[in-house]
Chain A
Amino acid sequence: MAYALAPFVSASFGGEFFSVLVLGLVLSVILGYLLEWLFFSYLYKREHLQQVLMTYGLILVFEELRSLLIGDDVHGVNIPPILDVSIPLNDMMTYPLYRIFISSVCLLLCIGMWFVFTRTRLGMMIRAGSTNREMVQSLGIDITLLYRVVFAAGVALAAFAGMISAPISSVYPGMGDGVLIVCFVIVIIGGVGSIKGAMMAALLIGLVDTFGKLLLPQVAGVLVYVLMALILLWRPRGLFKV
């Protein structure tokens, strides 16, 4: 949802790429914070599936609001001029710098996330809070704020991903759809709670998907799911346990 929305918002703002990026990040953090506060904070005590239902309702509302406020047109976003060059690989082929930019930024973010989760106190609190909420609370840590921050960070990351991918895929209604399920698949294959796992899984899925489309086009769509089924049957808790 955030993935799809952010590019729309940034596309309609136009303007210089990097400042829009920053603005978008700030907005998405605020949005995430508000969302958690208004819609999810009281659901933790209830059955998990209530959160699913709430998310479903929110997706419907957000998609429709987007349609109302910004319209259903497909937008293009321009690559910022400094990055809009191609790097020559050899005599015949070149590779767009922007894609290298995306890869490096994502890699940096991953390393940053891994660092925060495993090496900082905040990361420690987050990991503890996910396994034993009450214990963390009784240790004096404000778990509600923690959950809110994590939620906001998640929204911001998704929005960021949407924004930097906007120039290479166009911005269209429903662009979040295709990514949604794959994201779940990646987290599951990697093992819930493992950043290393998510990274490995993302790489694996990316490779399988791309080469699948190239080598076995008839079954390309289903390869990802076959992969997930195989991995889960081999390791029922994902590749890396936490």
Chain B
Amino acid sequence: MKTDILLSCKNLTRRWDGIIAVNDVSLQLERGSVHAVIGTNGAGKSTLINLLSGEVEPSSGRVELLGQDVSNWNQSRRARSGLGRSYQRNTIYPCFTVLENCRLSAQAQHQTPWSIWRDAQKDTTSLGIAREAAHQVGLDDLLECQAGFLSHGQKRQLEIAMCLSTSPKILLLDEPLAGMGAEETERMLNLLERLRANHAILLVEHDMDAVFRIAQRITVMVNGVVIASGTAEQVRTNSQVRTAYLGEHG
């Protein structure tokens, strides 16, 4: 089976006033695979995601999306081309319902700003996508609930649902499991397994059990530099990684 590389970066570097947050990082995301990025705090993982998503401009290096050089593209343009991301903090719309949160996200891919006579919240296209996304994360019962009143775990699920509502081909997930209990984590990991088939997923996470369970490839970063990258087994047995980060987990 030919694996297609949906997103890749080469020699990506980002400097801030003397600190090199991301230093010469290259990686590839393939369809059908979960690629985890792990590292200590301050290792540059979030900056890496910001560089890939377009939120931050690189100091040097390139980003390729579906074979195209998108280094100059801004974030919304990359998002429209199939690059979805979720945030470490919740970026939901607290005063809208769960359904509206997803529907508005879906609208991004079907924008018709000139059709003023239409009632957006009755739009079948965006509603259908929204319901499907909410169903995938398990929020069907809470569609009419105001998002601000959800529990933390449910908000994290909504965060993923909103990302899915944009029909992305690539998912950049920044600590989706943060603050989740055991049951919610299980549900999220099952979801990621299901999504893997048709998407390329980049997962930044601290939960090592989760990472080793679902990631096919792992990249380890320390102080902005990649110190190891390979299959889960390769990384687990890498001595540099063990000393730098895994400690007893290996």
Asked if A and B form a direct contact in the complex, defined as CB atoms under 8 angstroms apart, the reply is: no
- Residue positions of A touching B, CB distance < 8 A: none
